[in-house]
Amino acid sequence: MTEDLLQVLRAYALQNAVRHGDAPKAGAIVGAVMGKHPEFRSRAKEVSALVRQVIEEVAALSPEDRLRMLEAIAPELLVVPEKQATRKGELPPLKNAERGVVMRFAPNPSGPLHLGHARAAMLNDAYLKRYGGRYILRIEDTDPKRVDPDAYRMVQEDIAWMNLGITEIVYQSDRFDLYYQYAVKLIELGGAYVCTCDNDRFRELRRAKKPCPCRGHTVEENLNLWEQMLDGTFAEGEVSLRVRADLEHPDPAMRDYPIFRVLTSTLHPRIEATVYPLMNFTVAVDDHLLGVTHVIRGKDHIANTGRQRYIFDYFGWTVPEYIHYGRMGIEGVVLSTSEMHVGIDAGTYSGWDDIRLGTLRALARRGITAEAVRNAMVAIGTGDTDISFSWENLYAENKAVIDHDADRYFFVPGPVTLPISGAPATVAEAALYPNDSARGTRSLAFNGTVILPAAEIRPEVTMLRLKDLFNVSISFEDGVPHLAYAGDSLAEARAAKAPIVQWLPNEAKVPCLLHQQQGDQSGFCEPGVRQKQGTVVQFERIGFVRIDAVTSAGVTAYFAHR
Ligand code: GLU
């Protein structure tokens, strides 16, 4: 009997030590044993005596031996519960992915990619990396009204920036002949009919769950009408090919939706066509023909998934695994491509990388890395709960990526020039990176006059510490500040609660404009920043910034985050 109890206690002590990587805790073990083995509850005294014994035993074992022993005496306790298996930053496993996956990212080329796109792009990519396989970039350009010719290039640039493991690229505009062939097949299977009804009339009938007269066409009639569609017999808006879906379906969106239309008023930048397939048809046909195994897309596509199933069913194809993630509200930036277009045309935004926009190129301009975007998106994951995007999390991820390479510099916004009386001329050696002398220093020569952020000079502040230089006392005469040398001691500055402030020698300063979403700040930065074009540095006490441009007139920087 004692042996039974001992063995159970030992098993839970081992499990506890394996999970937490340190010596097992008595309370947790007793709790687990009593919970799982009510038969031992009456032997509480014995339990507390024996638990000490097993803790000692287990504590003496190496981590490998603990694991081996647990495997030997209670393998069932090795199984990690589902909740723990998906830690933060780890995506849940995909069903049917053991033999590799075929994923796709399917943007419309209507503008550059933004944060919303990055979620689909990065999640698909993360699974590709996990399971191996193919990752198709599918350019969904079958609606000429939503194609911006420049976007073909921009999408590719954004994908290169995201560093996606794309293995092949497919343009839907290259596949119109294929879509026409499958349209004919679908008609032959009785799955689609050509409808020439007036649109409003059709909608009325559909609302009433009634078939329109065209639904009764024979296959031959439909094939003839389809030929006429292709021949140009019908004008734009006069005709469509519809899926014969379910008129009784409670969701009107599932009832006989269109899959082809005639469009002559808008030209396509890549092809000449008058009959255009619609998205649900091209997506279904391509997901099948390209062998896509898993589709990860937003909840806003759930109705489309329903529509696409009709097409899969008519052809007898197996549907991929669908995962629909929840909506993600993103505050503080513009995400609507049409709003961006209008703003750029009107000159409200400087371009697609204006930092008030949520485009990836705007993030890149600020020094946000693709790696941080990836980590943030993987942390958000595929859950179907609606969430609001956390900029703070993105910034924390980005800081982890950039901090170590970011040299430190002084930037003095809104500067005031002030002499300091009684101070010896000296050279401050300020660390390029804190507590890492190997990185070296910047030398700032003090020669009597400095510039400081004017906002730091306030009547209630009587002492300042000029960072890496010395302390100054401040007195006011008729509202005019006078600065005087007040010793070098950092300890004294701390004791006096003196603000530590960035500064620059008046003789060695470079004009610098810092762009921020809330507005620009102008001032001066250190000359060393001129060597940092294209990199991220930290402006001390301000935050991380990307040095965007360096010209003879000065430096332009973009604010990333604190
Ligand atoms: N082109 C569609 C979109 O960007 C995606 C289609 C899909 O994921 O099925 O919304």
Q: What is the CATH number of the domain that holds 133?
A: 3.40.50.620
Q: How far, in Å, from the CA of 365 to the mean position of ligand 1? A: 26
Do 123 and 257 belong to one domain? yes
How far is Cα 344 from Cα 327, in angstroms, rounded to an integer? 27
Best residue among 280, 281, 282, 301 to mutate for probing ligand 1, ranked by most atoms within 8 Å of CB:
301
Do 383 and 495 belong to one domain? no
Report if residue 59 sits inside a domain: yes
Name the residue type at position 511: P
Is the CB–ligand 1 distance for residue 106 below 6 Å?
Answer: yes
Q: Coil, strand, or helix at residue 297?
A: strand
Whole domain around residue 370: which residue ranges? 331-405
Contact 560, 536 (CB under 8 A): yes
Best residue among 139, 140, 324 to mutate for probing ligand 1, ranked by most atoms within 8 Å of CB:
140
Q: Report the nearest atom of ligand 1 relative to the CA of 287.
A: 9
pLDDT computed for residue 81 by the predictor:
42
Task: Please say whether the dihedral angle defined by the alpha carbons of residues 300, 321, 139 and 366, taken in this order, is positive or negative.
Answer: positive
Contact 490, 505 (CB under 8 A): no
pTM of the full predicted structure?
0.84
Task: Select from 299, 328, 357 the last residue of a domain.
Answer: 328
How far is Cα 417 from Cα 457, in angstroms, rounded to an integer? 11
Q: How far, in Å, from the CA of 296 to the mean position of ligand 1? A: 10
Tally of domains within the chain: 4
Do 273 and 349 belong to one domain? no
For 392-499, list the strands marked E by DSSP: 408-409, 411-413, 415-421, 426-431, 441-446, 449-453, 463-466, 471-477, 480-485
Q: Report the nearest atom of ligand 1 relative to the CA of 107.
A: 4
The two tokens of residue 146 are: 């939503």
Report if residue 482 sits inside a domain: yes
Is the CB–ligand 1 distance for residue 297 below 6 Å?
Answer: yes
Is the CB–ligand 1 distance for residue 140 below 6 Å?
Answer: yes
Is the CB–ligand 1 distance for residue 107 below 6 Å?
Answer: yes
Is the CB–ligand 1 distance for residue 301 below 6 Å?
Answer: yes
Q: Which long-range contacts (CB under 8 A, 24 or more apart) does 440-446 make?
A: 442/409, 442/526, 442/528, 444/410, 444/468, 444/469, 444/504, 444/505, 444/508, 444/526, 445/505, 445/507, 445/508, 446/505
Ramachandran angles phi, psi of 475, nearest 5°: -130, 155
Do 435 and 339 belong to one domain? no
Contact 470, 423 (CB under 8 A): yes
Q: Which residues of the chain have pLDDT under 70?
A: 1, 21, 79-89
Helices (H), 132-252: 149-162, 176-188, 199-207, 219-231
Is the CB–ligand 1 distance for residue 110 below 6 Å?
Answer: no
Best residue among 104, 108, 299 to mutate for probing ligand 1, ranked by most atoms within 8 Å of CB:
108
pLDDT computed for residue 86 by the predictor:
46
How far is Cα 310 from Cα 235, in angstroms, rounded to an integer? 28
Smallest Cα–Cα separation from 85: which of 73, 76, 93, 94? Answer: 93
pLDDT computed for residue 82 by the predictor:
38
Task: Give, using CA atoms, the residue closest to atom 5 of ligand 1.
Answer: 106
pLDDT computed for residue 295 by the predictor:
98
Report if residue 185 sits inside a domain: yes
Q: How far, in Å, from the CA of 76 to the mean position of ligand 1? A: 43
CATH number at residue 391: 1.10.1160.10
pLDDT computed for residue 79 by the predictor:
60
For 50-178, list the strands marked E by DSSP: 101-105, 133-139, 168-171
Report if residue 96 sits inside a domain: no
pLDDT computed for residue 83 by the predictor:
40
pLDDT computed for residue 89 by the predictor:
64
How far is Cα 138 from Cα 156, in angstroms, rounded to an integer? 11
Pairing of strands 480-485, 471-477: antiparallel
Do 390 and 432 belong to one domain? no
Q: Coil, strand, or helix at residue 84?
A: helix
Do 384 and 433 belong to one domain? no
Q: Report the nearest atom of ligand 1 relative to the CA of 283.
A: 9
Helices (H), 317-405: 337-345, 360-366, 370-380, 391-402
Do 483 and 536 belong to one domain? yes
Do 173 and 220 belong to one domain? yes
Q: How far, in Å, from the CA of 107 to the mean position of ligand 1? A: 6
Task: Select from 372, 390, 405 the last residue of a domain.
Answer: 405
pLDDT computed for residue 88 by the predictor:
59
**Kind and range of the H or E element at 144?**
none
Q: Report the nearest atom of ligand 1 relative to the CA of 140.
A: 1
Is the CB–ligand 1 distance for residue 117 below 6 Å?
Answer: no
Is the CB–ligand 1 distance for residue 283 below 6 Å?
Answer: yes
Do 300 and 203 belong to one domain? yes
Do 241 and 365 belong to one domain? no
Report if residue 89 sits inside a domain: no
pLDDT computed for residue 39 by the predictor:
82
Task: Select from 293, 328, 363 the last residue of a domain.
Answer: 328
Q: How far, in Å, from the CA of 138 to the mean position of ligand 1? A: 9
CATH number at residue 412: 2.40.240.10
pLDDT computed for residue 154 by the predictor:
98
**Per DSSP, what are the bridge partners of residue 446?**
426
Report if residue 84 sits inside a domain: no
Q: How far, in Å, from the CA of 4 to the mean position of ligand 1? A: 59
Do 31 and 20 belong to one domain? yes
How far is Cα 489 from Cα 496, in angstroms, rounded to an integer? 11
| Residue 424 exposed, middle or buried by CB count within 10 Å (0-12, 13-18, 19+) | exposed
Do 284 and 350 belong to one domain? no
Q: How far, in Å, from the CA of 106 to the mean position of ligand 1? A: 5
Q: How far, in Å, from the CA of 369 to the mean position of ligand 1? A: 25
Q: How far, in Å, from the CA of 289 to the mean position of ligand 1? A: 16
**Per DSSP, what are the bridge partners of residue 557?**
514, 547
Report if residue 94 sits inside a domain: no
Q: Residue 128's CB: how many other CB atoms inside 10 A?
A: 23
The two tokens of residue 102 are: 């075929």
How open is the CA angle 366-353-170, to the nearest 5 degrees? 115
pLDDT computed for residue 467 by the predictor:
98
**Per DSSP, what are the bridge partners of residue 294?**
321
- Residue 100: alpha-carbon gap to chain centroid: 24
Report if residue 81 sits inside a domain: no
Q: How far, in Å, from the CA of 264 to the mean position of ligand 1? A: 24
